[in-house]
Chains A and B, each alone.
Chain A
């Protein structure tokens, strides 16, 4: 059998993984997951140093979140698409088109009185989400049921929606948006707790006032996360299924909690949690749940890993593909609205080229171009790696030409090391 040499090596690796004693072994077997986070932290520290301390300023951290929110929102959907073994090149154009649609609904088009409700920001937002899902669904339908390669369908979609946004905006920028809509990107959560003063304003001392609600939400969130992972560990231990060494478990949770609390503190010392970060966090949690716990998510991995085996196991692969692209479309719509709200106008060029950043984020995050492999956390960290590099290099005043090249090299290096590690194993 040609496959009989591998089991012994894999068995050895597996055996090492199962011995609960070795922290180092457990670390090594999860090196990909931890490594990526470590790379992000190192990149941040590097820019903190090279920008003379600007990167970690609360206002800049807030900016990084705002600047990358739409990439991350789309990266979540793109992760599903790529794990399923497809690609979506249209998301940039679709997001631009939806931004334009939102602008025309709220500002550009003059509705007759009985349809005036359409211009209401919430109604318009919902319409945009539905239209996005329909666009994605239509592309997904062609890919799933007519078996046209996703690359071609979405390449066509990219051209079509680029043209459509130009058409409905008549080549002009449309804005500004109503104040309620701007809140999506520019707003912060209200401080229902009230400010917490750590250092009162006095002669010669910078005052330090924290956004109370942000702090409380952050702490409650971290406690909930800890409780959740403790409960999971206890349940696994009770059944004898725990393989992670206690020390590693403790260190991992402490480090992650510390990082989150640090960012919460930073955000709280500026204007608090941006609205868009709340939306993003809910989506990230939702997608982690989808991919880890829902049968829907499991089937996507099965389909991406082996399409034929999945359909012979009773998975409706066509319908699944359709749903995945519909979800991607809705997320592209949301991203398009976030982007438009942030610029406070819809422009014909909005969203162009974003698909490349989104796809790069997912691949840096460890997804396989062949499908079947990829994690939500990886995609999010991948997006932040790209985002922090954009931000840091801009602050340093690196020219845009160099920025592009460096980003390209980072993408290549990430995938290279991934494959290198895999081949070595």
Chain B
């Protein structure tokens, strides 16, 4: 046996990988070995270097731009492009899906790898092949369906089908479940376990520790560009992983909450919204809720239950059509029919999709912080640049944004820091009611804790806060009261102290039963 291989069945070994960007070592002596047919999870805080490592592996950063060795299937590989690595059966699926929305599922699966003879596409072959691959990932969709017409969860599965079409031996998934509902996530993870039996190894990058402990065989923890340790299945526990990830033990994942709740500040009555394209499809059905002063209220519900649609339609009719219902602030009816009016009444909505709806990614922190309240740093339409600097620096400090200065472009920040910029923007608008849609999606444990702390501080200042989240433990950890939403209706309401994941799920399931 070659002495370079610790185990006979090791298929991939990355040895002392060091990758430097001008002035910064992103990876330093990182080692990773993956065994045949295992699910190997990589965890680490945002910015730890996980994605960089995967880019080195898949040839995004070509051989020669890093130091170290990649040994795959017993031979050293020097990938120059992604095509080289795909040729060897290493396929990476990025967090941002790389599907073309207006092409069909079949066309997407064979994109760049068309079933063609002499440049002429064989459509029968394409469809038949696609159908077979879809079946493998548990989809029964017609291969001619446009990708834009299927949900995110199914799109993720199409990506995997695409990978399978390339005869994948090592599948790399970067945060595959970040935007999936619990049901879709479970289906995807089950699929990975199925692959394992077929001898396909997977590398899974994820922030969702519960998922990892469920499916991973081994876990490698990366912190600040270094491999910290690789844990075996029997050593895996959430606390253990967290301790290793952040380099300290987190006593609790949620900051202690001492609610000081006053009277009702915000109330929505009979809120109804129809789908923007399908006039007759009612997305929100007579939804009503209240939030009290200093209270953190959660909305739980599955993906597609109408949570985001509710919030966005409320915030300046930013979603849907034929919107009806009433909104009250301190018992007085208010008009929130445009974003300007909603903001003027002290309502803020921090989006779930910070890259598409939250930030100007090509501009820096300072300009992003003040854009929702330029009045606050200007007089007569003229911006006071020093006042603006003060504000930007102040909020950068308050929300603990890690950047070299307020002149750092937001597109270059990690997810957690981007989220803090979005929060800063809305905090500076000084709202009374703050709607936070998936405030911690795709960000690491440490940054989550910081965001929770900010939410607590805001509540302590007497603001009314509505948190929409797919992560039930998060809602249970930070809210005072929870509404359960299903298919555009409120199907349950409970004080958080009486709530549990089971109770929430039961409310949803009961409603589903009634609906069908």
Q: Indicate whether A and B interact.
A: yes
Q: A: which residues have CB within 8 A of B?
A: 1-18, 235-236, 239, 241, 243, 293-296, 298-299, 301-302, 305-306, 308-316, 368, 372-373
Judging by beta carbons under 8 Å apart, are B94 and A2 in contact? yes
Cβ of B23: which chain A residues have Cβ within 8 Å of it? Answer: 9, 12-13, 15-16
Judging by beta carbons under 8 Å apart, are A8 and B363 in contact? no
- Is B239 an interface residue, CB under 8 A from the partner? no
Partner of A294, one of B342, B383, B412, B413: B383
Partner of A12, one of B22, B382, B385: B22
Cβ of A3: which chain B residues have Cβ within 8 Å of it? Answer: 51, 411-415, 418
Minimum CB–CB distance from A300 to chain B (whole Å) comes to 11
Minimum CB–CB distance from B337 to chain A (whole Å) comes to 13
> Mask for B416-448, Cβ within 8 A of A = 1, else 0?
011000000100010000000000001000000
Complexed CA–CA distance, A9 and B22 (Å) = 6
- Is B91 an interface residue, CB under 8 A from the partner? no
Apart from the given pairs A13-B22, A294-B383, 18 other A-B contacts in the complex at a CB distance below 8 Å: A2-B94, A4-B46, A4-B50, A5-B51, A6-B411, A8-B47, A9-B22, A9-B24, A18-B405, A243-B405, A295-B374, A298-B383, A301-B363, A305-B363, A313-B425, A314-B372, A315-B371, A373-B362
> Mask for B294-331, Cβ within 8 A of A = 1, else 0?
00000000000000000000011010000000000000
Partner of B24, one of A8, A298, A312, A373: A8
In this complex, how many residues of chain B approach chain A with their Cβ under 8 Å: the count is 65
Complexed CA–CA distance, A373 and B413 (Å) = 19
Judging by beta carbons under 8 Å apart, are B389 and A372 in contact? no
Minimum CB–CB distance from A297 to chain B (whole Å) comes to 9
- Is B403 an interface residue, CB under 8 A from the partner? yes
Complexed CA–CA distance, A7 and B338 (Å) = 35
Judging by beta carbons under 8 Å apart, are A302 and B371 in contact? yes
- Is B26 an interface residue, CB under 8 A from the partner? yes
Complexed CA–CA distance, A298 and B368 (Å) = 10
Minimum CB–CB distance from B388 to chain A (whole Å) comes to 9
Judging by beta carbons under 8 Å apart, are A308 and B357 in contact? yes
Judging by beta carbons under 8 Å apart, are A4 and B52 in contact? yes
Judging by beta carbons under 8 Å apart, are A5 and B21 in contact? yes
Judging by beta carbons under 8 Å apart, are B381 and A5 in contact? no
Judging by beta carbons under 8 Å apart, are A1 and B363 in contact? no
- Is B367 an interface residue, CB under 8 A from the partner? yes
Cβ of A316: which chain B residues have Cβ within 8 Å of it? Answer: 338, 340
Cβ of B48: which chain A residues have Cβ within 8 Å of it? Answer: 4
Judging by beta carbons under 8 Å apart, are B358 and A309 in contact? yes
Complexed CA–CA distance, A78 and B21 (Å) = 37
Complexed CA–CA distance, A415 and B66 (Å) = 30
- Is B359 an interface residue, CB under 8 A from the partner? yes
- Is B86 an interface residue, CB under 8 A from the partner? no
Minimum CB–CB distance from A412 to chain B (whole Å) comes to 23
- Is B356 an interface residue, CB under 8 A from the partner? yes
Q: 16 interchain pairs (CB within 8 A)?
A: A1-B175, A1-B442, A2-B174, A3-B415, A4-B48, A4-B49, A5-B52, A10-B408, A235-B386, A298-B367, A298-B371, A306-B361, A308-B356, A313-B339, A314-B372, A372-B362
Minimum CB–CB distance from A313 to chain B (whole Å) comes to 4
Cβ of A15: which chain B residues have Cβ within 8 Å of it? Answer: 23, 404
> Mask for B337-349, Cβ within 8 A of A = 1, else 0?
0111011000001
Complexed CA–CA distance, A308 and B339 (Å) = 12
Cβ of A18: which chain B residues have Cβ within 8 Å of it? Answer: 404-405
The count of A-to-B residue pairs whose CB atoms sit within 8 angstroms is: 162
**With A10-B409, A313-B425 known to touch, is A1 a contact of B414 (CB < 8 Å)?**
yes
Partner of B26, one of A2, A8, A302, A372: A8
Cβ of A17: which chain B residues have Cβ within 8 Å of it? Answer: 407
Judging by beta carbons under 8 Å apart, are B411 and A302 in contact? no
Judging by beta carbons under 8 Å apart, are A302 and B407 in contact? no
Complexed CA–CA distance, A392 and B95 (Å) = 53
Judging by beta carbons under 8 Å apart, are A309 and B408 in contact? no
Judging by beta carbons under 8 Å apart, are B383 and A295 in contact? yes
Judging by beta carbons under 8 Å apart, are B360 and A309 in contact? yes
Minimum CB–CB distance from A80 to chain B (whole Å) comes to 15
Complexed CA–CA distance, A243 and B362 (Å) = 21
Minimum CB–CB distance from A318 to chain B (whole Å) comes to 11
Cβ of A315: which chain B residues have Cβ within 8 Å of it? Answer: 371
- Is B351 an interface residue, CB under 8 A from the partner? yes
Q: B: which residues have CB within 8 A of A?
A: 21-24, 26, 46-52, 55, 94-96, 174-175, 315-316, 318, 338-340, 342-343, 349, 351, 356-363, 367, 371-372, 374-375, 378, 381-383, 385-386, 389-390, 403-405, 407-409, 411-415, 417-418, 425, 429, 442
Judging by beta carbons under 8 Å apart, are B407 and A1 in contact? no
Partner of B386, one of A1, A239, A298: A239
Partner of A7, one of B315, B358, B360, B412: B412
Minimum CB–CB distance from B275 to chain A (whole Å) comes to 18
Judging by beta carbons under 8 Å apart, are B24 and A11 in contact? yes
Judging by beta carbons under 8 Å apart, are B343 and A11 in contact? no
Judging by beta carbons under 8 Å apart, are B367 and A241 in contact? no
Complexed CA–CA distance, A81 and B96 (Å) = 30
Cβ of B412: which chain A residues have Cβ within 8 Å of it? Answer: 3, 6-7, 9-11
Complexed CA–CA distance, A5 and B22 (Å) = 12
Cβ of A368: which chain B residues have Cβ within 8 Å of it? Answer: 362
Judging by beta carbons under 8 Å apart, are A4 and B51 in contact? yes
Judging by beta carbons under 8 Å apart, are A310 and B360 in contact? yes
Cβ of B407: which chain A residues have Cβ within 8 Å of it? Answer: 14, 17
Cβ of A310: which chain B residues have Cβ within 8 Å of it? Answer: 360, 371
Complexed CA–CA distance, A305 and B355 (Å) = 11
Cβ of A372: which chain B residues have Cβ within 8 Å of it? Answer: 360, 362-363
Judging by beta carbons under 8 Å apart, are B339 and A312 in contact? yes
Cβ of B49: which chain A residues have Cβ within 8 Å of it? Answer: 4-5
Cβ of B351: which chain A residues have Cβ within 8 Å of it? Answer: 309, 312
Partner of B413, one of A7, A306, A314: A7
Complexed CA–CA distance, A312 and B405 (Å) = 25
Which of chain A's residues has its CB closest to B393's CB?
A241
Which are the 7 A-B pairs with shortest beta-carbon distances? A12-B23, A305-B360, A10-B412, A9-B21, A14-B404, A8-B24, A313-B372
Complexed CA–CA distance, A306 and B23 (Å) = 30
Minimum CB–CB distance from B393 to chain A (whole Å) comes to 8
Judging by beta carbons under 8 Å apart, are B359 and A306 in contact? yes
Cβ of A373: which chain B residues have Cβ within 8 Å of it? Answer: 362
Which of chain A's residues has its CB closest to B408's CB?
A14
Minimum CB–CB distance from A22 to chain B (whole Å) comes to 13
Complexed CA–CA distance, A301 and B407 (Å) = 15
Judging by beta carbons under 8 Å apart, are A4 and B340 in contact? no
Cβ of B390: which chain A residues have Cβ within 8 Å of it? Answer: 239
Minimum CB–CB distance from A388 to chain B (whole Å) comes to 30
Complexed CA–CA distance, A9 and B409 (Å) = 12
Complexed CA–CA distance, A309 and B354 (Å) = 8
Minimum CB–CB distance from A315 to chain B (whole Å) comes to 7
Complexed CA–CA distance, A236 and B49 (Å) = 36
Complexed CA–CA distance, A5 and B94 (Å) = 14
Cβ of A309: which chain B residues have Cβ within 8 Å of it? Answer: 351, 356-360
The interface centre, meaning the residue of A6, A14, A309 with most chain B CB atoms within 10 A of its CB, is A309
The interface centre, meaning the residue of B52, B360, B405 with most chain A CB atoms within 10 A of its CB, is B360
Complexed CA–CA distance, A3 and B361 (Å) = 12
Cβ of B409: which chain A residues have Cβ within 8 Å of it? Answer: 10
Complexed CA–CA distance, A385 and B383 (Å) = 32
Cβ of B24: which chain A residues have Cβ within 8 Å of it? Answer: 8-9, 11-12
Minimum CB–CB distance from A287 to chain B (whole Å) comes to 14
**With A5-B26, A16-B23 known to touch, is A302 a contact of B367 (CB < 8 Å)?**
yes
Cβ of B362: which chain A residues have Cβ within 8 Å of it? Answer: 305-306, 368, 372-373
**With A11-B24, A294-B381, A298-B367 known to touch, is A306 a contact of B415 (CB < 8 Å)?**
no
Minimum CB–CB distance from A139 to chain B (whole Å) comes to 24
Minimum CB–CB distance from A191 to chain B (whole Å) comes to 35
Which of chain A's residues has its CB closest to B370's CB?
A298
Cβ of A4: which chain B residues have Cβ within 8 Å of it? Answer: 46-52, 414-415
Complexed CA–CA distance, A280 and B512 (Å) = 68
Complexed CA–CA distance, A11 and B366 (Å) = 15
Complexed CA–CA distance, A299 and B383 (Å) = 11
